[in-house]
Amino acid sequence: MKLLFALLILFSSLFASDDVFEKFENYEKKDEFFEAGKEYYKKRNYALAFENFEKAAQFGNDKALYNLGILYSNKNFHRQDPKKAYAIFDQLAQKNHAPSQNRMGMYYSLGVVVDKDYKLAVEYFEKASKQGYVTAQCNLAMMYASGKGVFPNFGRAHVFAKTGVEQGNPICKKVWEDYNLSKYPEDKSFKLNFYTKP
């Protein structure tokens, strides 16, 4: 009886070690999975992109997890699920991931999955902007130019949009042209304790 029990333990540990080896091998390949996912995404093969991003994300690749969120928010993806995308971006935003903080700001400014909350959108855009994320700076420029979540301030909108315009960011270019921000080269408002420039 003891011999049978020992053999069972031995065989189960052998199978477990194969599983551990496979997991370790996949962990080593997480960056390869991520790169493959990017290539499939470029080719619009969303099913294979998803499969590879998911494998990479399982082993802690936050860029892959972010890209899963992008896929879930893509209307051309057969498994589109804005709620899952929101959950992913929220999880990453809490880890101070600037692109996800920007996405959270977009969710709140547009009222996708959540109620519109312009002030909360501005908070998320500011968090991402403080990390140098230019698209978030462009979104902040839009908020200041339109007066959503903040007092309208064309000078401050100019300050936040300028770098993005120079880099050719389409959001910054749009807000720059729509609100004619070149006419407002400086922020003349009170600075107090506000986040006033990138």
3-state secondary structure at position 119: helix
Q: Residues 4-13: pLDDT tens digits?
A: 444 444 445 4
Between CA 44 and CA 53, with CA 48 as vertex, the angle to 5 degrees is: 100
Cα dihedral sign for 23, 28, 29, 31?
positive
Backbone angles phi, psi at 132, to 5 degrees: 85, 15
Separation of alpha carbons 73 and 95, rounded Å:
20
Q: How far apart are CA 120 and CA 116, in angstroms?
A: 9
Q: How confident is the model at residue 108 (pLDDT cuts 50, 70, 90)?
A: very high
The pLDDT of residue 101 is above 70 = yes
| Banded model confidence at residue 24, pLDDT cuts 50, 70, 90 | very low
For residue 165 the two structure tokens come to 């315009």
Side-chain half-sphere of 69: how many Cα atoms within 13 Å?
23
- What pLDDT is attached to residue 185? 82
pLDDT at 46: 96
- Dist. CA 34–CA 168, nearest whole Å: 27
pLDDT of amino acid 32:
94
Q: How far apart are CA 28 and CA 96, in angstroms?
A: 25
Q: Give residue 189's pLDDT band: very low, low, confident or very high (50, 70, 90).
A: low
Confidence band of 29 (pLDDT split at 50, 70, 90): confident
Cβ partners under 8 Å of residue 48, min gap 6: 36, 37, 40
